[in-house]
Amino acid sequence: MNPEGINIILHIVGARPQFIKLAPVVQAFQDLSIPYKVLHTGQHYDYTMSDLHFDSLGLKAPDYHLGITSDSHARQTALMLQGIEDVLIKETPKMVLVYGDTNSTLAGALAAVKLGIKVGHVEAGVRSYDRKMPEEINRIVADHVSNHHFCPTRNAVNILKTEGIEGILTGDVMYDALLRVRQEDLKHPYTGDYVLVTIHRAENTDNQEKFLAIWEALKRISRRIPVIFPVHPRTRNKFAHVLADTGSHVDVIDPVSYFTMLAMIRDTRCMITDSGGVQKEAFLLGAPCVTIRDTTEWPETVHSGANRLVATDPDTIVNAVLTMMDMKVINTNNPFGDGHASRKIAEFIKDHCP
């Protein structure tokens, strides 16, 4: 046991979106001289999904790396619980901070609360209302065992209120991260018009019929305009034979750095995704978006007209993309805060968690 650990906040992350959220928060911690350590579960372990983003975001190597990689949800979460518990017993932090909605979020929150350690949830109150999504279960459980709930939007605060939880409106730390990026760092190698794609959610990649329908839509779109598809390692592993289709004009590439991805989103004619974070980034960067899901945890992007939800039907996807390609996204009302969410979180912890 580390007697000095009682003074630290332990940040628990494990997936690419969490590294992005972590960067501005730890910067705010440094600015306010709040002691902290970082635990990386290893949930995203491929270099292109992990170390590449730590490097590009200027994050130092995590203090703990559990090395827990892909497995079933139950096995992965169980291994995380065991590994996180060992670190918590060693460090005895005064609070654990978890981010978003991954298995790392769930395991971090559960391990801490079982040991009587306070939990803060960054991006609390977000709901898709689709309990078939593992992420929805993770975020609900994390919220209901957390002590402090840092909400990215007013809608998230209102949702928590209906569940009997008091949320703290901070704004979205992903918006903070985006604002920290220098424009000169936003570069990519593509010229001319293109459509950009990210598909990785279990609902689309664990169902072969759905993925093949999406792939058919991408092939059709690629006959009209270049389609660029940075492929998540898990998606590539499951559908390598499909992605190697020589009859396709889709440019299948490895995942890219955070800065490169932002630049590509900014310049795309239309974003096609099933990612929650990418929906927000497209909205904030002024790119029209087609989300291949039945529901979204970011209804603000849909209500603005900048994002459109579609089913996994090739005709529906193609028609939606062709329509959205000609749309101009004008964000006159940004629901994601003022770019100081990380500072507000750090100030709250400094003031209320001495």
Q: What is the distance of C-alpha 173 from the center of its chain?
A: 11
What is the Cα–Cα distance from 260 to 268, expressed in whole angstroms? Answer: 12
Tell me whether residue 148 is one of the annotated catalytic residues.
Answer: no
Half-sphere exposure of 9 (CA within 13 A, CB side): 25
Q: Where in the chain does DSSP place strands (E)? A: 9-13, 36-40, 64-65, 95-99, 118-122, 148-151, 168-169, 195-198, 227-230, 250-253, 270-273, 289-292, 307-310
274 and 204 in contact (C-beta within 8 Å)?
A: yes
What is the Cα–Cα distance from 100 to 106, expressed in whole angstroms? Answer: 9
Both tokens assigned to 56: 């590009």
Query: What would you measure as the largest C-alpha separation in the chain, in angstroms?
Result: 63
Q: How many CB atoms lie within 10 A of CB 226?
A: 17
**Which is the catalytic residue, given 44, 53, 200, 232?**
200
Is 237 buried (19+), middle (13-18) or exposed (0-12) by CB count in 10 A? exposed
Residues contacting residue 287 through CB under 8 Å, at least 6 positions apart:
265, 266, 267, 268, 270, 271, 329
Catalytic residues: 200
